[in-house]
Structure 1
Amino acid sequence: MGATLGPEYGYESTRLPYTLAHHYLPDFIDPIGKRIVEAKGRFPASDRAKMKAIRQQYPDYEIEIRFQSPQTKIAKNSNTSYADWCDKSGIAWSKA
């Protein structure tokens, strides 16, 4: 780089939020009744983030996740199960 920055520059001093555009294809949807049902075996962090975003951006839709094993932990070293995560996130769930 070579050039020196002036005192008006702060190093990592400001967080800039950003979003990435994605598309969500629900497993089952009733667009008239505004209900979404997802069927899940695994529920990785990427899917959990997606479901939180969908819930936030489409608050008029009811979302239910049907788990093969709702008591599976979200990570090896976590006490939180898939069902616990849904309860904390305000998302309905049931055992498939």
Structure 2
Amino acid sequence: MGAALPPEYAYESTYLPYTLAHRYLPDFIDAEAKRIVEVKGRFPASDRAKMKAIRQQHPNYHIEIRFQEPNTKIAKNSKTTYAAWCEKNGIAWSKA
């Protein structure tokens, strides 16, 4: 291991927020009315993170997700369904 750091350096003491730049292409959009409809069979963690980010960064858009099976669990060992996840995160949903 290298030379020790001076005592003013604290080990893992501060979180620094950061964002990654991505682009989102909605399934269906009424740009004038600012309404987005996503249609999902599967809803993996990456899509859930994307939808949360879109909702937070574009609060003037209404987002609705239409699921083939809204009662599917988000993970094998989870009790949370796709529908419950949407409700918890303030995203409208319906059955496709």
TM-score range, shorter chain: over 0.9
Structure 1 residue 2: Cα displacement:
2.4
Q: In 1, distance between residues paired with 2:36 and 2:2?
A: 55
Structure 1's unaligned 5+ residue stretches are none
Tell me the equivalent position of 1:56.
56
Deviations 1:45-76 (A, max 9, x none): 11001101100111110000000100000001
Alignment TM-score, normalising by the size of structure 2: 0.97
Name the Cα RMSD after superposition.
Answer: 0.8
Q: In 2, distance between residues paired with 1:42 and 1:81?
A: 12
Equivalences for residues 42-81 of structure 1 within 5 A: 42-81=42-81
Give the letter aligned to residue 56 of structure 1. Answer: Q
Structure 2's unaligned 5+ residue stretches are none
Moved over 6 A (4+): none
Equivalences for residues 34-45 of structure 1 within 5 A: 34-45=34-45
